[in-house]
Amino acid sequence: MTDAKPDLLLIGSATPYMRDRMAEDFTVHSLPSEAERESFFAEVGPKIVAVTVYGGAGLPGDVMDRLPNLRVISNYGVGYDAVDTPRAVARGILISHTPDVLNDEVANTAILLWLATSRKLAAYDAYVRAGRWASEGNPALTRGTQGRTVGIIGMGRIGQAIAVRLPVFGARILYHARSARDLPYEYFADLTEMARESEVLICITPGGPATRHLVNAEVIEALGPEGILVNVSRGTVVDEEALVAALLDGRLGGAGLDVFENEPQVPEALFAMENVTLQPHIGSASEETRRAMGDLACDNLVQFLKDGTVLTPVPECREMNAKAAG
């Protein structure tokens, strides 16, 4: 007779492939509706030793508090701002995430959003489909993409993946981060000053309280009426109200947005703007990348069962993970 599998709580949806992988080593429970949670937590909550957070579902503190024996959280994604990390760390709960495997896809998406916005790809696709090319003739010219100055907010793994793609466009590359790094790009400690120097501003910094509205009205104003803002980080990084106002007034040239402050809600004012490209938070959403993310999320759980460590701890848990490794 085999030992019973440990219990895992899945928060958010998951692909059938990932569910099957988790079920190999765990008894998997899905978080029920609000009406059913009290009985669920009373009966199952004490059994849960692992949580998988899928997508942007998050793990708030009030749910975590109902899991007294929780030991590990596997976050599907590189960003984990929707997990109550301080509370988990205080309880000695390890948190893992899925960095690196999505770097290339997100970097490619950032470049695509810039190009599509600058050349009005979506707007002119609609122009052709509506028959306007035949009835109205050629649309207005757009600005080119070669030889532009591109500022990158955040120079971690994905920021660097974006930067290495830019030389083919003859770009001058600037970056803003908490500190300068040993990189062949121009560092700006002052974000507003960098925005003033940039023609394209790409956000790829982590979300959370520390970066909320980092790109504020002042930064947007500095980017100016010819500038393009691209956001593939978190919607909270940009002051969405200030962004919409600047676009409406012509004080910002355009925006390529994969993320929003209150997803899946998107400001309706953006829908009619030809100088804005909108995507439903799919920066890493290719079949290959999502499978690799799922594998790493599951591999972290398997590793935890083996020796109490995870393969890719979030920064706040690296010391805890090292101690567990002995």
Task: Output the six-digit token pair for 297.
Answer: 């999320």
- Residue in the structure block whose two tokens are 């990390």: 85
For 206, phi then psi, to 5°, come to -60, 155
User: Is residue 166 domain-shared with residue 251, that is, in the same domain?
Assistant: yes
Give all strands of the β-sheet with 254-257 in edge-to-edge order.
Answer: 186-187, 172-176, 149-153, 200-203, 228-231, 254-257, 276-278
User: Is residue 122 domain-shared with residue 261, that is, in the same domain?
Assistant: yes
Task: Output the six-digit token pair for 106.
Answer: 């997100």
User: Is residue 310 domain-shared with residue 252, that is, in the same domain?
Assistant: no
The answer to whether residues 242 and 220 touch, using CB atoms and an 8 Å cutoff, is yes
User: Is residue 85 domain-shared with residue 116, that is, in the same domain?
Assistant: no
User: Is residue 138 domain-shared with residue 12, that is, in the same domain?
Assistant: no
Max CA distance (Å), the chain = 76
Query: What's the CA gap between 110 and 202, in Å, rounded?
Result: 7
User: Is residue 110 domain-shared with residue 247, that is, in the same domain?
Assistant: yes
The pTM of the full predicted model, rounded to 2 decimals, is 0.90
User: Is residue 149 domain-shared with residue 94, that is, in the same domain?
Assistant: no
CATH of the domain at 205: 3.40.50.720
Task: Output the six-digit token pair for 51.
Answer: 């949580």
User: Is residue 83 domain-shared with residue 187, that is, in the same domain?
Assistant: no
The answer to whether residues 90 and 121 touch, using CB atoms and an 8 Å cutoff, is no
For 256, phi then psi, to 5°, come to -120, 115
User: Is residue 315 domain-shared with residue 247, that is, in the same domain?
Assistant: no
In a domain, 283, yes or no: no
User: Is residue 111 domain-shared with residue 164, that is, in the same domain?
Assistant: yes
- Residue in the structure block whose two tokens are 């509370």: 87
**What is the structure's pLDDT at 1?**
41
Range of the domain at 312: 7-101+288-325
Number of independent structural domains in the chain: 2
In a domain, 1, yes or no: no
CB atoms within 10 A of CB 65: 14
For the annotated catalytic residues, the residue numbers are 234, 263, 281
Could you tell me which residues are beta bridge partners of residue 181?
Answer: none
Task: Output the six-digit token pair for 19.
Answer: 């569910």
The tens digit of pLDDT for each residue in 202-243 reads 999 999 999 999 999 999 999 999 999 999 999 999 999 999
**What is the structure's pLDDT at 56?**
76
In a domain, 167, yes or no: yes
In a domain, 245, yes or no: yes
In a domain, 160, yes or no: yes
User: Is residue 265 domain-shared with residue 314, that is, in the same domain?
Assistant: no
**What is the structure's pLDDT at 2?**
53
User: Is residue 70 domain-shared with residue 29, that is, in the same domain?
Assistant: yes
pLDDT, mean of each 10-residue run, the chain (326 residues): 84 93 97 95 98 88 96 95 95 97 97 98 98 98 98 98 98 97 98 98 95 98 98 98 98 98 97 98 95 97 98 98 95
